[in-house]
Structure 1
Amino acid sequence: MAARNAGTGAPHIDFDAARSLMVDDQVRPIEVDDPRILAAMRTLPRERCAPDAERQFAYADRTLPLTEGRYLLQPMIAARLTQAAGIVNEERILVVAAGTGYLAALASHLGGRVIAVESDPDLCAVGEAFTSDVAPGVVWRHGPLESGGAADAPFDLILIDGGVQEIPGFCVAQLAPGGRVVGLLSRDGGASSAFVAELDRSAPKGSAANGGRPIISHGESAWAIRLQFDAPAPLLRELLPKPVFSF
């Protein structure tokens, strides 16, 4: 699959073959059976979402660094997270921390109307160039992650492209009735699990939610959370809980 370019020592990779192998060896064996996801992952040139130094590993079973504190999730996590989201055609989707655009493009190929928010201008530029070619329906917003996508709300799905320790506060106001938040939740800063969360405004603060650990938003609303699968995920620093000072 990889050979050396004569005179340079740089690896020459057949990315088309690597992409197909990724789906067959990494994605299908972990019970990703949505044909839309499999077809999209065979098509999307993931190597364009990786930095030059990491491009040869674009289809390896690993999470790749993009810049300080930001990562391109490994293929199997991206696939399972997208499948857990259960994207329906024409849903309004906010992808938070969209990075270089791979997850946003994947959601768009599944029929979502995607708004991608990214705080890093360099990542945003790469992502916008990528999706303009492969998923032109994706609309990019450059701004702080903790603000979400207020100007484009409400959303049927808020998809977080990275790890969090709690559901961001903006999700309460920006989620449409019956909508859901999907991402990777770190339990006490340790292991993380994919989750699907729905607002339960009727639940008393601090109550248990569907047998999972309750995550309480700002105010009195609670989240009913379903944990899906364990997955290593670096935390998004911008979405870490703010320190609480007491006197």
Structure 2
Amino acid sequence: MDWDRARYLMVEQQIRPWDVLDSKVLQRLFDVKREEFVPADKKELAFVDVALPLPNGNSMLEPKLEARLLQDVELKASDRVLVVGAGTGYLVALAAGLAKQVIGVEIDLDLKHAAEANLLRAGIKNARIEEGNGLAAANPGAPFDAIILTGSVAEVPVVLREQLADGGRLIAIVGELPIMSAVRVTRAGAAFGDTKLFEFNLPRLHSASDKSQFVF
């Protein structure tokens, strides 16, 4: 396969039409080799516009959603970032090129090890992966300028809101089926503002408290 051609088509046919137009985000999509972050048996599907199944019932997000979350959380070069649900490390790698430091938290130990290996191979030096439940307790690295959730939640947990630095942003898919929405939470002192961005249904993060059995 011509990976560079496939990457170009992914950006032009999937990413741009989804209103991802930030030049820095688009450049990261070209710079980070997505095919190196998918399981070997699914490498040919790296640029398909679907969520790819991963071991233990996990999934890798659609490329367009990863790009949109990355753009809409509005990263700056000085930011410290937390990614809850690191998966194979792809979104962590993308964010690492736009921020000062990225911490990915992954509850699945096999995925944690895969993400670490993928980041090492990609030469990413300002990111690390930690094992744990990112929804259960505050990360020792808090506060963060940006937090990205890669699975949905019924509502944004207070423990995550409180880990935002002043001026920090959190982006997550929030709500219940049949309609969920991407929401950006912004902190200003002790106050929090929530902005609905777009509608998208996404499986739950593991351990997310919800009556639904739709899990990520």
- Determine the structure 2 residue equivalent to 1:124: 112
Return the match for 1:152 from 141, 150, 153.
141
| Identical pairs, percent | 35
- Determine the structure 2 residue equivalent to 1:217: none
Q: Shift of residue 198 of structure 1?
A: 2.5
Q: Shift of residue 132 of structure 1?
A: 1.9
Query: C-alpha separation between the residues in 2 aligned to 1:60 and 1:79?
Result: 14
TM-score, with structure 2 as normaliser: 0.89
SS at match of 2:203: coil
Q: Shift of residue 148 of structure 1?
A: 5.3
CA contact (8 A) 1:94 1:149 kept: no
Q: What is the letter of the counterpart of residue 31 of structure 1?
A: D
Q: Shift of residue 174 of structure 1?
A: 1.7
- Determine the structure 1 residue equivalent to 2:151: 162
Query: C-alpha separation between the residues in 1 aligned to 2:90 and 2:138?
Result: 18
Which consecutive residues of structure 1, in runs of 5 or more, have no partner in the other structure?
1-12, 204-222
- Determine the structure 2 residue equivalent to 1:194: 182
Q: 1:94 to 1:144 in 2, by over 3 A?
A: same
Q: What is the letter of the counterpart of residue 3 of structure 2?
A: F
CA contact (8 A) 1:96 1:118 kept: yes
Q: What is the letter of the counterpart of residue 159 of structure 1?
A: I
CA contact (8 A) 2:135 2:160 kept: no
TM-score, with structure 1 as normaliser: 0.78
1:178 paired to 2:167 = yes
Which consecutive residues of structure 2, in runs of 5 or more, have no partner in the other structure?
none
CA RMSD in angstroms comes to 2.1
Residues 179-235 of structure 1, C-alpha deviations (whole Å, 9 max, x = no match): 1211111x32322221101347867xxxxxxxxxxxxxxxxxxx4211111223111
CA contact (8 A) 1:157 1:180 kept: yes
- Determine the structure 2 residue equivalent to 1:80: 68
- Determine the structure 1 residue equivalent to 2:199: 230
Residues 85-133 of structure 1, C-alpha deviations (whole Å, 9 max, x = no match): 0001120110111111111111111124101111111101111111123
Query: C-alpha separation between the residues in 2 aligned to 1:81 and 1:21?
Result: 20
Q: 1:169 to 1:202 in 2, by over 3 A?
A: closer
SS at match of 1:68: helix
SS at match of 1:158: strand
Superposition map of 1:195-210 within 5 A: 195-199=183-187
Farther off after superposition, 225-234 or 48-57: 48-57
Q: Shift of residue 30 of structure 1?
A: 2.1
Residues 5-54 of structure 1, C-alpha deviations (whole Å, 9 max, x = no match): xxxxxxxx222221111011111222211111111101211122222332
1:53 paired to 2:22 = no
CA contact (8 A) 2:83 2:149 kept: yes
Highest Rg: 1 or 2?
A: 1
CA contact (8 A) 1:164 1:236 kept: yes
- Determine the structure 2 residue equivalent to 1:141: 130
Q: What is the letter of the counterpart of residue 175 of structure 1?
A: L
SS at match of 1:40: helix
- Determine the structure 2 residue equivalent to 1:206: none
Q: What is the letter of the counterpart of residue 143 of structure 2?
A: P
CA contact (8 A) 2:185 2:193 kept: yes
Q: Shift of residue 138 of structure 1?
A: 0.5
